Amino acid sequence: MILYIRCFLLLGISLFSLEGFSQNEMHNIDLNCISQKKIRKFIISQKDQNITDFSGILSGYNEKEDLSGLFKREFAFIIKENFDMVWNKYITVSPAESWNGRIISFGLLISKSTGFVMYNKDETFSGLDTSQVLYLNLKFLFGVYNLAVGLEIIGIDNVNKSISFSYLDEGKAQGLQTIHIVSTKKGYSKIIYRAYYKSNSAFRDRFLYPFFHHKVIREFHRNMKYIILSNDNKKEY
């Protein structure tokens, strides 16, 4: 409760800040509102690299980068619902809902363009947008190993129903992830997840990443499927 009140007060102060005060500064992130130790350490490491402003947080993917030099993984899932509705949910559901489970936990979201900061306990969320950065904690081996991951939303295509994420430049892996939603012949939604990635460890890229990434994406998809179908009043999950 004390943590929630502290975060609420911080949000109120930021909303009514004096004119000319920049909300886009790293020191405005309240580490006390972040429960995951690895994410707190990740943000502290960004500050130690002299990243003082949100604009200094860089994505690791260059739009001109040749993806053929990266490893690729692809998964597909079906949700028995109209793809326009499914797409709307994917871009409007709070990451505190979609990125929270046994493996994934949401730490915070920041917007590099507006200075907006959202923590796990915050309820206000107006939808995904480019330049937003998600900080997530991934828990493996029953919590023995935890990993903080930063993903920046670098593209949202409302026509082709796709979202593109880039790993942050300071992360362990570099590359691109995409979510693409298409309509099936039966009028359902097919969600296609693609990951292009590479790190400084060939063993991690060939053996660890494919196994653990599949578990993470499967949990994220199950969260979204549950959210979508629960709103459609009791379709089978």
Phi then psi for 61, rounded to 5 degrees? -105, 130
**Is the CATH number 3.30.530.20 carried by domain 2-231?**
yes
The pLDDT of residue 144: 80
pLDDT value for 19: 37
Q: In the predicted model, is pLDDT for residue 2 greater than 60?
A: no
Q: Can you give the residue ranges of every domain in the chain?
A: 2-231
State pLDDT tens for residues 159-189. Answer: 999 999 999 976 667 889 999 999 999 999 9
- Judged against a pLDDT cut of 90, whether residue 65 lies above it is answered with no
**In this predicted model, what pLDDT tens digit does every residue of 181-230 receive, in sequence order?**
999 999 999 999 999 998 888 888 888 888 888 999 999 999 999 999 98
Q: Which of 74, 83, 228 is CA-nearest to residue 160?
A: 83
* pLDDT of 22 strictly over 60: no
pLDDT of residue 232: 56
Q: What is the DSSP string of 150-210?
A: EEEEEEEETTTTEEEEEEBTTSSEEEEEEEEEEE-TTS-EEEEEEEEEEES-HHIIIIIHH
Report pLDDT digits (tens) over 116-137. Answer: 999 999 988 999 999 999 999 9
